Structure 1
Amino acid sequence: SFVVRKAQKSYGMGRQVEGPSVKDRKVVVLEDTSTTGGSALTAVEGVRNAGGFVQAVAVIVDRDTGAREHIEQTANVPYFYAFSRADLGLE
């Protein structure tokens, strides 16, 4: 597993992707929840910049607010979720 920071740090290892190298590896970006898809897209970009190959974005809870469409169109990767707001009775 690895962590993608919002931006590369100027201290420490100075990397945006922390943890084992993702270079030349297939990865899935995992988020707990997604509203706009912005955090997931930042992670996709970070992994790609580090030489990784993003296969999909997966979230535990999709809030049904357009993240799926935004991610699939912008990053050109499939988007999967375990639960929607309706599944959890949150509508």
Structure 2
Amino acid sequence: MQDLKGRLARLLIQKSYKEGDFTLTSGRKSDYYFDCKQTALHPEGAYLLGRLFLHLLHNEPVDAVAGMTLGADPLVTAVSLASYLACEGTLPDPAPAAPWPACIIRKQSKGHGTNQYLEGLANLPAGCRVALLEDVVTTGGTLVTSIQRVQDAGFTVSVVATVLDREEGGREHLERSGFSLKALFTRNELKALGLA
């Protein structure tokens, strides 16, 4: 797995990590920007993210994966596919008991039809345990909203995981809400592996 993590870090540095002067979604200023979608939408990036998240979550109680659109869309798809391939024996990774379906959380309700916040509900068993995925965590505000929407739909959030923890209060915000955060990388880890 360490080899896969190094490959992913190098790809993230190449495609998703930029240093400079940026304003983040939270309104905070930062000396770097992390756009994970550039890597998650790359074939090798999706493959690596799917496998590494599958490995990160393999000891957690998970029946499905979900994430807030748009940043988590390719993440939940990659992890769902990796879980299927592991169950089929195509990937050498630890396989879950059954493949994990994916669910996408809307920022606003659909506004028509069923007026729902979650897409993919037909694939999620009633009351299932959901791993909530995010591309980058800064303050944790988006994740707290996502958790609430998943719980309001009748599911349990069993674990929260991200590609990058910016270590700027998000982990602590989640802990105050009763959740812990698992991260593939912090900034220092990403730079150390990605620039090696």
Which of the five TM-score ranges fits, normalised by the shorter chain?
A: 0.7 to 0.9
Higher helix share: 2
Displacement of 1:89 in angstroms is 2.2
Question: Normalising by the residue count of structure 2, what TM-score does the alignment of the two structures yield?
Answer: 0.43
CA distance in 2, matches of 1:89, 1:62: 13
Moved segments of 4+, more than 4 Å: none
CA distance in 2, matches of 1:80, 1:6: 23
Q: Does 1:56 align with 2:159?
A: yes
Aligned AA for 2:185? Answer: F
Indicate the residue corresponding to 1:14 in structure 2.
Answer: 115
Matched-pair contact (CA < 8 Å) for 1:26–1:55: yes
Higher strand share: 1
Between 1 and 2, higher relative CO (CA 8 Å, sep ≥ 6) is seen in 1
Unaligned runs of 5+ in 2: 1-101
Secondary structure of 2:188's counterpart equals coil
CA RMSD across the alignment: 1.6
Indicate the residue corresponding to 1:83 in structure 2.
Answer: 185
CA distance in 2, matches of 1:32, 1:7: 19
Structure having the higher Rg: 2
Secondary structure of 1:87's counterpart equals helix
Aligned AA for 1:26? Answer: R
Displacement of 1:17 in angstroms is 1.0
CA distance in 1, matches of 2:108, 2:158: 22
Unaligned runs of 5+ in 1: none
Secondary structure of 2:162's counterpart equals strand
Displacement of 1:42 in angstroms is 1.1
Secondary structure of 1:60's counterpart equals strand
Paired residue total = 89
Question: Normalising by the residue count of structure 1, what TM-score does the alignment of the two structures yield?
Answer: 0.88
Aligned AA for 1:77? Answer: F
CA distance in 2, matches of 1:62, 1:55: 18
